[in-house]
Amino acid sequence: MTAFSRMAIKIRSEQWLMVFLALLILAACSPGGAADKDSVGNRNPSSQQQTFKWKMVTTWPKNFPGLGIAPENFARLVDRMSDGRLKIKIYAAGEIVPAMEVFSAVSNGTAEMGHGAAYYWKGKIPAAPLFTSVPFGLNAQEMNGWLHYGGGLELWRELYEPFNLVPFAGGNTGIQMGGWFNKELNSLEDFKGLKMRIPGLGGEVFSRAGGTTVSMPGGEIFTSLQTGVIDAAEWVAPYNDLAFGLHKVAKYYYYPGWHEPGPTLELIVNKDAYDSLPADLAAIVEGAARAINQDMLDEYTSRNNAALITLREEGVELRQYPADVIKKLKEITEIVMQENSRSNAMFAKVYSSFDEYRKSVIAYHEISEHAYFKMRN
């Protein structure tokens, strides 16, 4: 055998060793620490011959910037990572089911996956809004910490288990804006009689402050503001609000988004469909969800800057909520959270975990993130 041949064999051996080690690492890092299991349960053996075709329904308009593109990005990533063995076709709101029927459609198996926001399902599950955002609660960075390292995801899955669903964090827009209005807000009295599109726990607080909460999908906001069906609306932030043209039907743009400081989007998977996947494809779904969750936050952090400049050039008037209004909204929030906890045991269980994490992370961020922002600015 020549020296060249011996070298070639050695190289091939080292390559196989690297592949083998990589597989061992992947197996060790997968939930449960075994290649045939994940965080939900036992898995079928991996088979390179198996292919799967899934449908994903969403609560967003087709190809809507950020929110609507995230599921498309997720599907492309899964396709690449699985080498085409798991293909997911995305359907916008209304293409298969209306926006507010996504939860039920995935639960009953009409579609294998869904993308939306947990607070849309408040009527079905009182504790669900806690997994989107809590007024004066956790920001995006803190929400990710609570979900993935503070026990939040386990509670989320416990909450959705009776509905045959497995949830994943599927994106975060970062702190949102406080809403669009055609009148200035000088006191809490100015909320009285206002009909505002504002979902989730923020909507409860707004109602307690004297307003009327209106629930509707994002695609209906512009026309509803234009025709007077609603007097005010919050949607997301400059990036998405500009895309909807909300500056054309409302004058004042309020900040900060006290009601949604760290709004998490969700990817929900039908549990039967998820359990049918081989271990490697299940791991790909989990890994792709984590990637898209972070990618959306990165995108919004960048895009909101440019969009805000455009909105101001268009004549939008930025207004900060008066300090006394914020103080009263915070007081109402505490009452709403206590009442929900007393009326629903699961809400109390989840909020206890959330609030404990919030208090601990505030203490640290006071001397880290917050201290740095004050120093920098």
The whole-angstrom separation of Cα 133 and Cα 150 is 16
205: helix, coil or strand? helix
pLDDT band with cut points at 50, 70 and 90 for residue 208: very high
* pLDDT value, residue 63: 87
Buried b (16+ CB within 10 A) or exposed e, 299-322: bbeebbeebbeebeeeebeebebe
pTM: predicted TM-score of the whole model, two decimal places: 0.86
The distance of Cα 27 from the centroid of its chain, to the nearest Å, equals 28
Give domain limits for the chain.
Answer: 52-175+262-301
- Give tens-digit pLDDT for 146-179: 999 999 999 999 999 999 999 999 999 999 999 9
* pLDDT above 70 as % of the chain: 87
Look at residue 240 and tell me whether its pLDDT is greater than 90: yes
**Collapsing DSSP states into helix, strand and coil, what is residue 335?**
helix
Per-residue pLDDT tens over the stretch 185-196: 999 999 999 999
- Is the CATH code 3.40.190.170 the one for domain 52-175+262-301? yes
pLDDT at 30 (0 to 100): 44
Average pLDDT in the chain: 90
According to DSSP, the residues that pair with 320 across neighbouring strands are 255
DSSP letter (8 states) at residue 220? G
